[in-house]
Amino acid sequence: MKKEEYIKVGISVGDLNGIGTEIILKTFEDSRMLEFCTPIIFASIKTMSFLKKHFNSSINFHGINDINQVVEGKVNVFNVWKDNVNIEFGKEDQFIGQLAVKSLEKATEALKNDAIDVLVTAPINKLTIQSDSFKFPGHTNYLAKELGGTSLMFMVTDELKVGLLTDHVPVKDVAKHITPKLITEKVETVYESLVKDFKINKPRIAILGINPHAGDNGVIGEEDDKVVKPTLEKIREKGKLVYGPYSADSFFGSKNYKNFDAIVASYHDQGLIPFKTITFGEGVNFTAGLSKVRTSPDHGTAFEIAGKGIADESSFKEAVFTAIQVFKNRKEYKKISKNPLKTAPKKI
């Protein structure tokens, strides 16, 4: 493999009291991973060495204090902090939460400066990350502010892709958040992502209704008839293949989702419960709509099993693969779009 083909994968460690570092270690213990990417873990060589010993890992680290010291073929650990850290698996800890923020901030800085190509984030605890200087409900909102763009939580596998109109919004507030402007923006983000990030030329997108049975013609709420349907009609007028709103309760059980390239759910649980039921362990959380590539596994900190050595790294490994593939697809799309006439056959 040529040197320029190695993709630098930045990794934020998430909550050290959760399973994040365990699944990172398990992912990169497989030396084949280093044949096509260069991982940079934003943490501390002391902390990662302690965790290596705890989990009896065979991984070897290369500690660095400057991003320019990254070595290909090694698992690099960028020292974000140098002090010893008291790790108590399964415990919510404000100090540990702030280390998760430091890891994320340093990794995001590297991403913005093109020192890394993609970012893969291990799970955080949404309570312990909060502070006077960090008031975001999660990764997606923070990265949207730092990287710009219309961010969208996009849960993906090869066979199923689910985007959300609203993500970390209380159920009681969902309907008032869903406006024609929001629907149009999110559908546009999903459409562009399918084309640029996943190489689907003419995507078919399904929209799930807000209310049970998509409102039953206004009997169970008017939002689907008054907000969703007219907005989808306007989007279709622009040539996009967008369908719905569909009744969410039967959409997945009937296998109707297989007829579409992506599904857009109205709120968090409406989309994520069926997604995780169908794909758990294989799914990836991809933040679509940003100028840079970010992925994460489809699960949380799993405090109940943290430190026991039994966490499954499958979703994290898929998150690494997906980030790399999306990066390559974007690069290819940009190249083709830059000068489409360049590849056209010459007239004789």
Q: What is the pLDDT of residues 246-285, one digit of tens each?
A: 999 999 999 999 999 999 999 999 999 999 999 988 899 9
Query: Three-class SS of residue 67?
Result: helix
pLDDT of the residue at 220: 80
pLDDT of the residue at 3: 45
Q: What are phi and psi of 41, to 5 degrees?
A: -90, 125
Q: What are phi and psi of 24, to 5 degrees?
A: -65, -50
Q: Could you read off the pLDDT of 285-331 as tens digits, one per residue? A: 999 999 999 999 999 999 999 999 999 999 999 999 999 999 999 99
Q: CA-to-CA distance for 34 and 73, rounded, in angstroms?
A: 5
* Regions of the chain where pLDDT drops below 70: 1-5, 215, 339-348
Q: Give the DSSP letter string of 259-308.
A: G-SEEEESSHHHHHHHHHHHHTTT-EEEEEEESSEEEEESS---GGGTTS
Alpha-helical segments (H) within 72-156: 94-112, 139-147
**Sequence letter at residue 266:** S
Rg (CA), the chain: 21
Which residues face 153 on adjacent strands?
287
Q: CA-to-CA distance for 44 and 230, rounded, in angstroms?
A: 53
Q: What is the pTM of this model?
A: 0.91
Q: CA-to-CA distance for 317 and 320, rounded, in angstroms?
A: 5
CA distance readout (Å), 244 to 29, 30, 210, 248, 341: 45, 43, 11, 10, 37
Q: Which residues contact 147 (CB under 8 A, 6 or more apart)?
A: 108, 111, 112, 290, 291, 292
pLDDT of the residue at 340: 58
pLDDT of the residue at 341: 56
Q: Give the DSSP letter string of 312-329.
A: --HHHHHHHHHHHHHHHH
Nearest Cα neighbor of 29 from 39, 19, 44, 15 is 39
Helices 314-338 and 20-29 cross at an angle (nearest 10°) of 70
Q: Which residues contact 78 (CB under 8 A, 6 or more apart)?
A: 40, 41, 42, 43, 64, 65, 67, 106, 110
pLDDT of the residue at 5: 65
Q: CA-to-CA distance for 15 and 101, rounded, in angstroms?
A: 9
Q: CA-to-CA distance for 39 and 140, rounded, in angstroms?
A: 21
Nearest Cα neighbor of 78 from 23, 104, 40 is 40
* Region at 313 (left for phi over 0; alpha for psi -120 to 50; beta for the rest): alpha
**Residues present in the chain in total:** 348
